[in-house]
Each structure stands twice: as C-alpha cells, then as structure tokens.
Amino acid sequence: MARSGGFAARRPGHPRRMIKGLIRGAMAGAAGTTALNAVAYLDMAWRGRPASSIPQQSVEELAKRAGREIPGSGEERENRLEGLGALAGIATGIAVGVAAGELRAVVLRLGPVLGPVLLGGAAMAATDVSLTRLGLTDPREWDATAWLSDAGPHLAFGVVSYAALRAMARR
C-alpha cells in the first residue's frame, strides 16, 4: 500500500503525482493569466486603445452555436457577455497551465528562453485558433501592431507561467 510520502507516490503516472502536477499547472496558469492581463491593460493605458470586444463576441458565438441565448437585454446583457468573456480567458490560461503542469519536466527542460516562448505560444494558439475557427478574426490579416498587441501579453503569460512552474518544481 503506497503512502503519500512513500516511494510509490513518487513514480511518474501515480495519481497523487498527477494531481500535484494539475494543481501546480493551474496555479502557474493563473499567475500567467494575471501577467497577460496586466500587460494588456498596460498597453491599453499606454496607447489609449479600447478593450477588445472579441472575448464577448466569442461567448456570444459559442452560445449561438450551442443553441443557447445569453439572458438579459441592453446593458445587463452586455455586462454579462463582458464577464463571461473575461472568465473564458481565465479558463484558457488555466487550461494551458494545467497542460504545462502535467508536462512540466519537458517544459522546464526547454530552459528559460524556449520554455516561456512555448507556453506563451500555446496560450496564443489556444486563443487565436479558436477565435479564427469561430470566424471572429484572421491572424493572416493582422498588421505588425496587432501581432505585437497579441504576442506581448502572451509572452508575459509564458514567462510568468514558466517561472511559477520552475519555483514549484521541487516542492
């Protein structure tokens, strides 16, 4: 019978080890998402640009495709869409973090340059591929400013998620 601190619990694939990886990854993803949001808000403040409406549009499109209606009307409905769009972004960041937590040995072996780039690229792909498939954007049509506005926050996600995974690696 394996004990939590025993030898068997340290083997790869053991349920306790997997759960630890999931939790550590979720924490890293949450930290990375906070960094992503901070960099995006800094960009908005610096350039005086508005927040993107893409998160709300994605929630609306997903609800439409699921045959569901977002309740409310007018400002109430818009506020609900804004909240759901933000929650969808948080969920995406945590999901990428969970995957990184399960693959943390591989991610950490990539080192402090490639590891963050991989994590940021994974978060960016998770977002941009789904938005493209929903017909809400097409990255092939973006100019350099749009690419930087998207890549910068996602790189911040990668750097902070990687740092969090690294900090939790031997605890």
| pLDDT averaged over 10-residue windows placed end to end, the chain, 171 residues | 51 78 96 98 95 95 96 96 97 98 94 97 96 96 94 98 93 61
Q: Which of 89, 113, 112, 106 is nearest to 29 (CA)?
A: 89
* Residue 171: per-residue pLDDT: 61
What is the secondary structure of 8-68 as a DSSP string?
Answer: GGGSTT-HHHHHHHHHHHHHHHHHHHHHHHHHHHHHHHHHTPPPPSHHHHHHHHHHHHTT-
At 78 the pLDDT is 96
Whole-number pLDDT of residue 1: 44
Q: Return the DSSP state at 79.
A: H
Contact, 156 vs 41, CB < 8 A?
no
CA 169/CA 37 separation, integer angstroms: 25
Judge if pTM exceeds 0.75.
Answer: yes
- Residue 17 CA to residue 9 CA, distance in Å, equals 6
